[in-house]
Structure 1
Amino acid sequence: MAFHHAQHANSLNQSLADLNGDINVSFEFFPPSTPEMEQILWSSIQRLQPLNPKFVSVTYGANSGVRDRTHSVIERIQQETNLVAAPHLTLVDASDEELLELAKHYWNSGIRNIVALRGDLPEGSPKPTRFANDLVRLLKSVADFDISVAAYPEVHPDAANAQADLIHLKRKIDAGANRAITQFFFDIESYLRFRDRCVTAGIDVEIVPGILPVTNFKQLKRFAGMTNVSLPRWLHRQFDGLDDDPGTRSLVGANVAIDMVKVLSREGVKDFHFYTLNRAELTYAICHTLGVRPQVKAE
């Protein structure tokens, strides 16, 4: 009996200690639309900066007002922090000439990392004729940017089928993309199957899982409905009865994300991209638990 307990204690201790910071993280933010949201964004950036992420990305809207806010956030990150800033860039509502100019401007400003996306099509727009692989090619024609593109373990909502979606991802990699970052997901099997299919298709870059720490399950259900993401039954059960209990929701959300990263890490995943929704608390707590912590300077 004592031997059984000792074995159990060892496996439990191993489970708690199996991540000691041996992972890389990156964070996504979005440009704020109000002074209050701007304050929240910058306090989040300052809070997460000491975790030494590989890069931080800033999302990009189709209309010019949001674009301008993206540029100003990127420039401020460049000027005021030691973080590697990676602006999102989309084809929607921008000509090749405008994109070439912007790419040159970014390169000349010291930006070396870009997240290249087709972008969401405005309501009622015709079928697209340019795709993210065209944007990757355009960027690489300007300079040797480090380019991330999007991947969809549960298939892009606009794709004809899973195979067509995979072929499209391969085109982006063949055009010069350095890594793919996935849409958020909760079905780990779907990610692992997708990663295997990428290998079979000759896609040899890192498929970085996108992790969304959940604080608001109602909002998550709306996101998931728009993006073709399945929410497993166990996840519904985790958040059941917590609509009016934000504190417990945060604890549950952190626990879900930690468990996901632990399982994925055991499957050989080393890089994780966190969709922060501009809030640092949950992402910081998750990273801390996983062993991603500020570097302690030697005396």
Structure 2
Amino acid sequence: MTITEHISNAQSTLFSFELLPPLKGENLQTIFNAIDPLLEFAPAYINVTYHREEVVYHKGKSGAFLPKVLRRRPGTVGIAAAIQHRYNIDVVPHVICGGFSKEDTEDALIDFDFLGINNLLAVRGDADKITGRFEPNPAGHPHAVDLIKQIVRMNNGHYNDENIESATPTKFCIGVAGYPEKHTEAPNMANDLMYLKAKVDAGAEYIVTQLFFDNKKYFSFVESCRKVGITVPIIPGLKPISVKEHMSLLPRVFNVDLPEDLVRELVICNDNKSARELGIEWTIQQAKELKQAGVPSIHFYTMGKSDNIARIARAVY
């Protein structure tokens, strides 16, 4: 079932969550251990992220930063297939521009199609942590909208190899990311919404938001989207704070504001345990308000740990 079908058929707000693939050297049981505690809440779908290779830098003798190691979380295709087979729950693998040629993308999409995985989240991918710039594969896509167009072409039976005749159309339902407080690289919200609408016009069927801690930001974002003609479902994404460092880390990395009340309470937390408890309680209140407002689904960013998400869901669903 596609994500849009799940939403259309739902009688109330759906529950879903996102997982990170395990690092090299870890096994699939790590993923299953994160999923199992959340099964009681009947997740409609599970997202599996994908991140391009990460360059780790070190200072050379000249003082310049030099690349040291390439790190990648492998296995998204295999993990998505394993989850869908084991749990009979729809899986949404992330498909990114960064590090992939158009041929690489096509091969991955063919694998997903063969495996019966029909839902995707199409994203550009992160910028380099040192330079702050996104560098696409020279033979790949520079923007998510271009990736969406390739997926839509395959849905219409058109592959990169123009010599293929009577190609079988794929049946992918495409989701994209939205930013209630704008993307870090966007000059303003109006510009960000323009690009988001272009992705929807190209074929995206639903939007999942970046994390936020003030529901007013989400409601304002939805209203702004509707005003510019974006009519697809907009799913709020939530991430509970789990360590004190998040007070400075999350605003810097994700371009989000933390509400004054939340900051005030974080400051007086004695340790990470108390910060984690605060994060759980804050997210419970967020999720309750969103659910009461009738949002289509609430999507939780687990970062591979599900005990706090289970406590939140138990209080909300």
TM range (shorter): 0.7 to 0.9
Task: Please tell me whether the aligned partners of residues 182 and 189 of structure 2 are also in contact (alpha carbons under 8 angstroms).
Answer: yes
Hey, what does 1:201 align to over in structure 2? 228
1:168 to 1:236, Cα distance in 2 relative to 1, 3 A? same
Task: Please tell me whether the aligned partners of residues 49 and 83 of structure 1 are also in contact (alpha carbons under 8 angstroms).
Answer: no
1:150 to 1:188, Cα distance in 2 relative to 1, 3 A? same
- Residue 36 of structure 2: SS of its match in structure 1? helix
Match of 2:185 among 158, 167, 171: 158
Separation in structure 2 between the aligned mates of residue 75 and residue 290 of structure 1, nearest angstrom: 29
Structure 2 residue 113 is the aligned partner of structure 1 residue 107: yes
Match of 1:175 among 202, 221, 224: 202
Task: Please tell me whether the aligned partners of residues 41 and 279 of structure 1 are also in contact (alpha carbons under 8 angstroms).
Answer: no
CA drift at 1:263: 1.8
- Residue 268 of structure 1: SS of its match in structure 2? coil
Task: Please tell me whether the aligned partners of residues 244 and 272 of structure 2 are also in contact (alpha carbons under 8 angstroms).
Answer: no
Separation in structure 2 between the aligned mates of residue 229 and residue 47 of structure 1, nearest angstrom: 29
CA drift at 1:266: 3.0
Which range is displaced more, 154-163 or 212-221? Answer: 212-221
Structure 2 residue 258 is the aligned partner of structure 1 residue 231: yes
Note the 1:38-187 alignment, pairs <5 A: 39-63=29-53, 66=72, 68-122=74-128, 123-124=130-131, 125=133, 130-142=142-154, 143-187=170-214
CA drift at 1:75: 2.5
Structure 2 residue 289 is the aligned partner of structure 1 residue 286: no
Task: Please tell me whether the aligned partners of residues 40 and 279 of structure 1 are also in contact (alpha carbons under 8 angstroms).
Answer: no
Separation in structure 2 between the aligned mates of residue 217 and residue 206 of structure 1, nearest angstrom: 33
Q: CA RMSD in A?
A: 2.2
Task: Please tell me whether the aligned partners of residues 118 and 131 of structure 1 are also in contact (alpha carbons under 8 angstroms).
Answer: yes
Question: CA deviation digits over 1:171-209, x for unaligned, max 9?
Answer: 111111111111100122121111101000110011111
1:218 to 1:37, Cα distance in 2 relative to 1, 3 A? farther
Question: CA deviation digits over 1:12-62, x for unaligned, max 9?
Answer: xxxxxxxxx932011100011155685443211122133221211111111
| Pairs aligned (count) | 270
1:76 to 1:156, Cα distance in 2 relative to 1, 3 A? same
Residue type matched to 1:239 in 2?
L
Hey, what does 1:15 align to over in structure 2? none
Residue type matched to 1:30 in 2?
L
1:67 to 1:52, Cα distance in 2 relative to 1, 3 A? same
- Residue 37 of structure 2: SS of its match in structure 1? helix
Which of structures 1 and 2 has the larger relative contact order (alpha carbons within 8 angstroms, sep 6+)?
Answer: 1
- Residue 79 of structure 2: SS of its match in structure 1? helix
1:126 to 1:269, Cα distance in 2 relative to 1, 3 A? closer
- Residue 115 of structure 1: SS of its match in structure 2? strand
1:220 to 1:58, Cα distance in 2 relative to 1, 3 A? farther
The structure with the greater share of residues assigned to helix is 1
Separation in structure 2 between the aligned mates of residue 91 and residue 287 of structure 1, nearest angstrom: 33
Unaligned runs of 5+ in 1: 1-20, 292-299
CA drift at 1:67: 5.4
Question: CA deviation digits over 1:234-279, x for unaligned, max 9?
Answer: 1112222324251x33332221111111222333313111001111
Task: Please tell me whether the aligned partners of residues 150 and 182 of structure 1 are also in contact (alpha carbons under 8 angstroms).
Answer: yes
Task: Please tell me whether the aligned partners of residues 28 and 59 of structure 1 are also in contact (alpha carbons under 8 angstroms).
Answer: yes
Hey, what does 2:18 align to over in structure 1? 28
Name the TM-score, length of structure 2 as normaliser: 0.79
- Identity across aligned pairs (percent)? 31
Hey, what does 1:294 align to over in structure 2? none
